[in-house]
A and B are shown apart, each in its own frame.
Chain A
Amino acid sequence: GIQVEQSPPDLILQEGANSTLRCNFSDSVNNLQWFHQNPWGQLINLFYIPSGTKQNGRLSATTVATERYSLLYISSSQTTDSGVYFCAATYGQNFVFGPGTRLSVLP
């Protein structure tokens, strides 16, 4: 089945810094999503981005499907950005999550 990898596994930033999270997948995908898991465990949808670039405020994402990767950019990070960021890919009927990047933003 499809394999999804994320890097880095952990990231510590000072408030106001920018960061880039990466998601690599082993096969062509129909769907690529980015989620933020908050401290209470809920998964918040960030982007549904099978290809191309999208922006939402301080966050943006780019998926290059032909090269099998997606990037999540966080600019001017805030302490509320802390948590775990997951990417998830769909290939056929398989909807597979990566292991996540744990982000800690320090005040």
Chain B
Amino acid sequence: DGGITQSPKYLFRKEGQNVTLSCEQNLNHDAMYWYRQDPGQGLRLIYYSQIVNDFQKGDIAEGYSVSREKKESFPLTVTSAQKNPTAFYLCASSIGIGFEAFFGQGTRLTVV
């Protein structure tokens, strides 16, 4: 089945630790995105990538880092510099920027 897979579904970490969220797609899409959603709120863009080995900061990139070494993969690292990391994280992909985007099932990160 083609789609976007995020793992894990739930993640717990201690404050001060870096954590990496996985996002894999087998849709042959060039563009990939990471969004953050806080309870009762909309989605805010963290980073996006138009093509392999290229990525751009979104509206709330501080405290996060990404890599795009392979077309299929766009992992997100939540660093200890992110002050409020507890949130729901959603990954998406599209053929290109401006085309229909599809989302994974999300990862709920809780930092204690």
Residues of chain A lying within 8 A (CB to CB) of residue B50? 93
Query: Residue B82 at the A interface, CB < 8 A?
Result: no
Bound together, the chains give a CA A69 to CA B33 distance in angstroms of 24
Among listed A11-19, A37-45, A56-64, A71-79, interface-contacting one? A37-45
Are A99 and B42 in contact, CB atoms less than 8 angstroms apart?
yes
Residues of B within 8 A of A (CB-CB), count = 24
Which chain B residues numbered 56 to 97 have a C-beta less than 8 Å away from chain A?
Answer: 56, 88, 90, 92, 97
Which chain B residues numbered 4 to 44 have a C-beta less than 8 Å away from chain A?
Answer: 33, 35, 37, 41-44
Residues of chain A lying within 8 A (CB to CB) of residue B102? 45
Are A100 and B56 in contact, CB atoms less than 8 angstroms apart?
no
Bound together, the chains give a CA A70 to CA B50 distance in angstroms of 26
Bound together, the chains give a CA A74 to CA B50 distance in angstroms of 34
Q: Which residues of B contact A (CB under 8 A)?
A: 33, 35, 37, 41-45, 48, 50, 56, 88, 90, 92, 97-103, 105-106, 108
Q: Which residues of A contact B (CB under 8 A)?
A: 30-31, 33, 35, 40-43, 45, 48, 86, 88, 90, 92-100
| Sampled A-B contacts (27; CB under 8 Å) | A31-B98, A31-B99, A31-B100, A33-B100, A33-B101, A35-B103, A40-B105, A41-B37, A42-B103, A42-B106, A43-B90, A43-B92, A45-B102, A45-B103, A86-B42, A88-B43, A88-B101, A92-B97, A93-B50, A95-B48, A95-B98, A96-B45, A97-B42, A97-B44, A98-B42, A99-B42, A100-B42
